[in-house]
Structure 1
Amino acid sequence: MNINKCSCKENRPPTAGRSGCGCNISGPKMPMDSFKVPAAPIGRPLGKVNENKEHQLASQSGPGKNEDKKKSWSLSDFDLGRPLGKGKFGNVYLAREKESHYVVALKVLFKSQILDSEIEHQVRREVEIQCRLRHPNILRMYGYFHDEKRIYLILEYAKHGSMYKLLKERERFDEKTVAIYIRDLTKALVYCHAKKVIHRDIKPENLLIGHNWELKIADFGWSVHSPSSRRMTLCGTLDYLSPEMIEGKPHNYAVDIWSLGVLCYELLVGLPPFDAKDSHQTYRKIRYVIIKYPDFISEKAKDLMGKLLVINPEQRLPLINVLQHPWITENAPEGAQPPAFNPEQK
């Protein structure tokens, strides 16, 4: 069976023991002036800052007190601050909208690099999907604009940065913390799946930590809107690929359930469950679900991961049932909030 493989020239930092899919899409190169971004959604300008400290946006109000709603943006509307991160295709900067003084993250992508790497379709898909998602555990994309050379994505600012960075600083998280993260991520995935969106690349690098230490899904570069729910493209990161993906079989929403199990293990242990010296060993571990649980992992945590990391996608625990699992209900009851980490204490 011939599998359409997607470009893995990913806009993310390299990480030890974690590689991308290593695939590529062949296609004709396009001239710069042919680059197109989706039409901007009307009526989604930045809103005036709330009085409280939650700093949420009122999505239906325009910036400041101007009655005329702003339907497009330009770089002159923002004061740029320090860089928040760097990637292969551009950088992310702290920014402030001049009229409302609302703080955002401005992701700047270079059109030439996107075209050279043949990932235009991914950028378009990321914008089209993320602009339409509204969930407390999904990073908001407030809007976007572009000029001759660059694309600018106006994103919610996640104060505490990457979960991957936090995990490396802490080495691993306790079970109550992980249960809260898994609970909130599950709710976000339930929402995505209800919107016919498969994320396909859940992992710590693509999760951010917000103002109140809440989890935010941040990267939708590999996501797809899939009403038919059956996909053939091999994509994502090797450690998180499901058995059906590495075997070139059609996949559906269950790939996100598999990734949820992998993430749960990595947050609890500090390493992904199928980590190995080379990709061939990782493939083998994934294909036969070869997992070794450290002694400090509780039996209920093992039970949940065992029901998520199942070869047959149809037999994986549905997301709704994840929320009802004893490990979640006991460690992350409704209303329990993630802890505020002190960087000086581990």
Structure 2
Amino acid sequence: MDPVRRLNNNALTGPTMQAAGVGPRRVPVAPTRVAAAALPVPRPLVPANGPQRVQKQKYEIKADLRKPPSHQPSSQAVVAKENVKSKPAVSEIHVAQVPSKSSDPSSQNAPDYISEDNKSSEKKRWTLDNFDIGRPLGKGKFGNVYLARERQSKFILALKVLFKCQIEKAGVEHQLRREVEIQAHLRHPNILRLYGYFHDAARVYLILEYAPKGELYSELQKCVRFDDQRSATVRKRVWVQYITELSDALLYCHSRGVIHRDIKPENLLLDGTGQLKIADFGWSVHAPSSRRTTLCGTLDYLPPEMIEGRMHDEKVDLWSLGVLCYEFLVGKPPFETTTHDETYRKISKVEFTFPPFTSEGSRDLISKLLKHNPKERLPLNQVLVHPWILANSTKQPTFMHEKDSVQPVPESSAKQ
């Protein structure tokens, strides 16, 4: 049987995915160079009328790594025609069995030759033949993510498949390079590991840590909000745990000269034990060259200095942390409106209110993070010891006492 037909015979159809809750989906803001100009109202990047979030649509994904996402029909599986001739450039995909529920993939330790924590000067050169490909985990603009298993060790991981033609068409090669070079240097329990990467003529493959519980956004949609009442104590402590883990991971990133710039629930994953993992470092930059005016990230989470086209630094992540805290408590971002112009205005004026069910402690923390002047925002080390955090958190930060051993990420990792 030729490789193309065998590929399609081995393809698995992923489960139909639907939004876990009600509410429109965020629309990412495209990268745009904004000049610092004295304008009363910043110019929106997209039409002013329309929701800032769009509802997730149902879709199915076939484990067909040959074609870019734009060539794959969304309403039906991709089926190869009988008269299509095989192409020798296509690698054969072997489908892995889905791990059983009794074995938690996230509890496994990656072998040294995968994690590259060994001191050997020789690094393994990966190819697609090193992996069994399983069900799809997600679908993105430039490719898909699949559950995978490394054949030699049987180690379960995630394989992110990106199509070069799509990346080049969008002009985001530098973003991908930045994501790989930065994330590969980071070692923190709350940062998703990038074990390695490889590529062929048509695709780039990122070998990533597998987070079985998926996006934090899905968890957020399950609860419209939670009260600071006794009946919601457990839920509140879970959110505070996420805030603690995120703050600790960001403190680690900033100490190594890395700014994320796109913190939002969609970029935060959960492993099998419910531990938070920061993912998607495509918008990250290295601090020595981070006084920038690039407008990036998601509109609801953008700080005033970015939408106003002013220079910004690592304190943009403090603003995003404050927006995330608010959304955990209330169920929606503090500056969410029906139009982009109005959202821009509210962010620039730092115009938001707290519902009556929020506590004084949570209001104090959020208000100290959502400051128009970046220099006035509460530092991450003070976030971790804020009274409201200490009163509700059961987890100690892992990084606060390890600063002496910190080594900066090489500046060449994020020049762009």
TM-score, shorter chain, exceeding 0.5: yes
Deviations 1:138-162 (A, max 9, x none): 0000000000000000000001001
State the partner residue of 1:117: 170
- Aligned partner letter, 2:371: V
Alignment coverage as a number of residue pairs? 297
Q: Deviations over 1:49-72 (max 9, x none)?
A: xx9982122446789xxx996521
What is residue 324 of structure 2 aligned with on the other side?
A: 263
Map of 1:193-208 to 2, 5 A cutoff? 193-208=254-269
In 2, Cα distance between equivalents of 1:52 and 1:76:
21
Tell me which of the two structures has the higher relative contact order, counting C-alpha pairs closer than 8 angstroms and 6 or more residues apart: 2
Question: 1:192-211, CA deviations, whole angstroms, 9 ceiling, x for partnerless residues?
Answer: 00110000000000000011
Residue 365 of structure 2, aligned match among 304, 313, 318: 304
Find the aligned partners of 2:314 and 2:188 in 1 and give their Cα distance: 18
1:21 alignment counterpart = 29
Match of 2:340 in 1: 279
| Distance across 2 between alignment mates of 1:199 and 1:320 | 17
Q: CA distance change for structure 1 residues 170 and 59 in 2, over 3 Å: closer, same or farther?
A: farther
Q: Which residue of 1 aligns with 2:94?
A: none
Shift of 1:168: 1.0
Q: Secondary structure at the match of 2:294?
A: coil
Q: Residue 21 and residue 62 in structure 1: after superposition, are their counterparts in 2 closer, same or farther (change >3 A)?
A: closer
1:129 is matched with which residue?
182
Cα shift at 1:270: 1.3
User: How far apart are residue 301 of structure 1 and its match?
Assistant: 0.3
CA contact (8 A) 1:61 1:69 kept: no
Amino acid at match of 1:329: L
SS of the counterpart of 1:290?
Answer: coil
* AA in 2 matched with 1:152: Y
**SS of 1:18 mapped into structure 2:** coil
Percent of aligned pairs sharing the same letter: 57
Structure 1 unaligned spans of 5+? 1-12, 26-50, 337-346
Aligned partner of 2:40 in structure 1 is: none
Give the letter aligned to residue 167 of structure 2.
I
My pick for the range that moved more, 197-206 or 326-335, is 326-335
* TM-score under structure 2 length normalisation: 0.67
Q: Does 1:319 align with 2:372?
A: no
Answer whether contact 2:31 2:294 (CA < 8 A) is retained. Answer: no
> Are residues 110 and 225 of structure 1, via their aligned partners in 2, closer, same or farther at CA, if it must alter by over 3 Å?
same
Residue from 149, 157, 167 that aligns with 2:210: 157
CA distance in 1, matches of 2:214, 2:25: 21
Q: Write the letter of the residue equivalent to 1:221.
A: G
Structure 1's 254 and 74: CA in aligned 2 closer, same or farther, altered over 3 A?
Answer: same
Unaligned runs of 5+ residues in structure 2 are 1-17, 34-103, 227-234, 398-416
Pairwise CA RMSD: 2.5
Distance 2:282 2:249 in 1: 16
Q: Deviations over 1:24-65 (max 9, x none)?
A: 47xxxxxxxxxxxxxxxxxxxxxxxxx9982122446789xx
Counterpart of 2:203 in structure 1: which amino acid?
Answer: R
Q: What is the Cα deviation at residue 228 of structure 1?
A: 4.3
Shift of residue 132, structure 1, vs aligned partner:
0.7
**What's the counterpart of residue 93 of structure 1?**
146
1:268 CA displacement: 1.4
Bigger radius of gyration, 1 or 2?
2
Question: Shift of residue 175 of structure 1?
Answer: 2.5
- Report the Cα distance in structure 2 between the residues aligned to 1:218 and 1:318, rounded to whole angstroms: 22
State the match for 1:331 in structure 2. Answer: 392
Please tell me whether the aligned partners of residues 62 and 69 of structure 1 are also in contact (alpha carbons under 8 angstroms).
Answer: no
Give a deviation string over 1:171-195, Cα, whole Å, max 9, x none: 3353222111101000000000011
3-state SS of 1:96 partner: strand
> How far off its partner does 1:163 sit?
0.5
In 2 relative to 1, CA 317–24 (structure 1 residues): closer, same or farther, beyond 3 Å? closer
Residues in 2 aligned to 1:101 and 1:93: alpha-carbon distance in whole angstroms: 15
Q: CA deviation at 1:214?
A: 0.5
- The normalised TM-score by structure 1 is 0.81
Partner SS, residue 147 of structure 2? strand
CA–CA distance in 1 between the matches of 2:153 and 2:395? Answer: 34
Deviating above 3 A after TM superposition, structure 1's stretches of 4 or more consecutive aligned residues are 22-25, 58-63, 67-70, 333-336
Letter in 1 for 2:243: I
Answer yes or no: is 1:218 the counterpart of 2:279. yes
